[in-house]
A and B are shown apart, each in its own frame.
Chain A
Amino acid sequence: EDKVVQSPLSLVVHEGDTVTLNCSYEVTNFRSLLWYKQEKKAPTFLFMLTSSGIEKKSGRLSSILDKKELFSILNITATQTGDSAVYLCAVSIIQGAQKLVFGQGTRLTINP
C-alpha cells in the first residue's frame, strides 16, 4: 500500500526559530513530491520536487528531496506567527491515472 509519513505530527516553537519538517514515503510509480500549507481553508501549493538533491527555495522556505532514501524535508527559517499552519506532504503517483497520496500533516505553531 502506498504510504506517506510525516514527522513530527505537531511542533511548537518560538518566533525566530528554524524548523525542519520531515516526510518519508513508500510508493510505487513515484512521479513527484509536493508540499502544501493548509491554514483554515484551501491547501496552498508551496513546492514540487522531482529530482534528488536540488533545493527549491522561496523566501524563508526551502525543500529538498532524496529519492534514494525516499524522504523530503521542508525548512522554514526565522519563523513568524503567520507560518502557523498544517504542512502537508503529498506524493504524486501514477496508478492508472495521476493521484496524490498525502501524509497526515505536521501542525506547526509559532508562538510570539
Chain B
Amino acid sequence: NAGVMQNPRHLVRRRGQEARLRCSPMKGHSHVYWYRQLPEEGLKFMVYLQKENIIDESGMPKERFSAEFPKEGPSILRIQQVVRGDSAAYFCASSSSGGATDTQYFGPGTRLTVL
C-alpha cells in the first residue's frame, strides 16, 4: 500500500515564476492537508481539502497561493509569482475520514528553492 506521494521532491524556481506541487494521498484516503515548514521551524497548517472541496484554508496566504483537489488526479498546491520567502519544505498529509482522532500520514515533502 503506497504511502502519500509528493512530486517533485525538489523544485527550483526564479522569482516571479510559478510553482506547482503535487500530492497523491494514500489509497483509500480522501482528505488532504498541506503544511509548510520554514527552515528551523515547525510545520504550519495551510489548507485542508476533500475531493473537489476546500474545507479550511485559514493557514494559506491570501494572495498568490491556491490549492485544489479535483475529482480525478492529485491535489495541487500552486504558488504564483514566487518570492524568496516562499522557499520552504511543503508537506502533504492525508487521512481516511478527517475525523478528530484520525491520523494524518505525511508525504516526503517538496523542497522549494526560490532563487
Report which A residues bind B (CB closer than 8 A).
4, 31-32, 34, 36, 41-45, 48, 50, 88, 90, 92, 94-105
Contacts and interface: CB of A to CB of B under 8 A. Distances in A.
A51 B106 CA distance: 24
Contacts of B99: 98
Contact of A98 (B3, B42, B98, B105): B98
Contacts of B4: 42
B90 interface: no
A4 B40 CA distance: 15
22 contacts: A4-B42, A31-B101, A32-B101, A34-B103, A34-B104, A36-B106, A42-B4, A42-B108, A44-B106, A48-B101, A48-B103, A50-B101, A92-B100, A94-B100, A95-B58, A97-B48, A98-B98, A98-B100, A99-B59, A104-B40, A104-B41, A105-B42
Interface residues of B, number: 29
Contacts of A99: 33, 45, 48, 56, 59
A32 B100 contact: yes
A72 B37 CA distance: 22
B43 interface: yes
Interface string B34-52: 0100001111110010000
Interface in B36-88: 40-45, 48, 55-56, 58-59
Given A31-B101, A103-B42, 7 more contacts: A41-B108, A41-B109, A45-B104, A48-B101, A92-B101, A98-B48, A99-B56
Nearest to B48: A97
A43 B100 contact: no
A108 to B, nearest CB: 15
A42 B45 contact: no
Nearest to A41: B108
Contact of A100 (B33, B101, B107): B33
Given A41-B109, A45-B105, A48-B103, A101 B98 contact: no
Nearest to B47: A99
Question: Top 6 closest A-B pairs, CB basis?
Answer: A102-B42, A31-B100, A97-B56, A41-B108, A102-B43, A42-B106
